[in-house]
Amino acid sequence: MSAASSNSLFGMGNPLLDISAVVDKDFLDKYALKPNDQILAEDKHKALFEELVKKFKVEYHAGGATQNSVKIAQWMIQEPHNVGTFFGCIGKDKFGEILKQKAEESHIDAHYYEQDEEPTGTCAACITGDNRSLVANLAAANCYKKDKHLDLEENWKLVEKAKVFYIAGFFLTVSVESILKVAKHASENNKLFCLNLSAPFICQFFKDNLMQVMPYVDVLFGNETEAAAFAKEQDFETEDIEEIAKKAQALPKVNTKRQRVVVVTQGKGDTVMASSDKVETFPVLKIDPKNIVDTNGAGDAFVGGFLSELVQEKPLDQCVKAAHYAGNVIIRRAGCTFPEKPDFN
């Protein structure tokens, strides 16, 4: 049994069903996709989803960045069940039912806001080699409403039970007022609020929302591409990842009892962490490229591993160790899926 109690980790985000397939360069070019990117679907991508299913061998996996991370944290912890709580919006349809079933199988306590105006959101994961290009059609996920779900007494009670909060930056496009309500609760009660930069487009086009939330962020995650985009938008005037981590750490913060921690992953390169007054680097676990099945979900798994130790109040270097372990497991498998039990101590 772990030191974590039920509902001690809270996540809120976009629950999506991943439709993943190994594609070719022509497919990426046809839809003007970069090999390694995350974007929101526009009208020109409508046909992409149909073509993907028709032309390639697709697999369906329960996805959505925050939900993935909460599931991985739960998997790392194993017992008790329902350490992880998840809020998000789905449709009343087959894909929504799959997400509910998968959440239950993962032993997380998912409370979805269900509406019938929009179908459950999907994400096309277009795999080429060890790259993945993600195209998210948020649909129902975009319909999350603070007053219809988060504010309800029985739901807010679950927020109050939590000690660690995690929201991927992707949710900044959906309901910044929901994020702020949770972030302020964390800050006022000296709990840990964690946010992910999630994608370059969040740092660029949702900068105002991101910077409204930033003063409440205790732990900030991102990869090297996102960190570079963030630094550029914030006029940090440096491309050095360690410098960027330090500058992000020094941004204004409401709860001064905790100094911000900034964690930047760099694929197979070292992970960089700025905490207290130092910047440290941690090498990732070695893996033979032949064993990499797909990197979709690697970043989510990294965060999930990190959170699994954070919620048990373990030291930060142990959090990074767990993060590296989880990421290493996930890239050996299709989608954000995992074996029955972790082999981590």
CA–centroid distance for 323 within its chain: 13
CB atoms within 10 A of CB 60: 15
**Which residue in the block uniquely carries the two structure tokens 């409403």?**
145
Q: From CA 265, how far away is CA 221, in angstroms rounded?
A: 8
Helix ranges (H only) for the chain are 25-30, 46-55, 65-77, 94-105, 153-161, 176-188, 200-205, 207-213, 224-233, 241-249, 298-310, 316-330
300 is catalytic: yes
> Which of these is catalytic: 24, 300, 317, 343?
300
Instruction: Look at strands 121-128 and 37-40 and give their pairing.
Output: unpaired
Q: From CA 275, how far away is CA 316, in angstroms rounded?
A: 9
Q: From CA 69, how far away is CA 132, in angstroms rounded?
A: 18
Residues with catalytic roles: 300
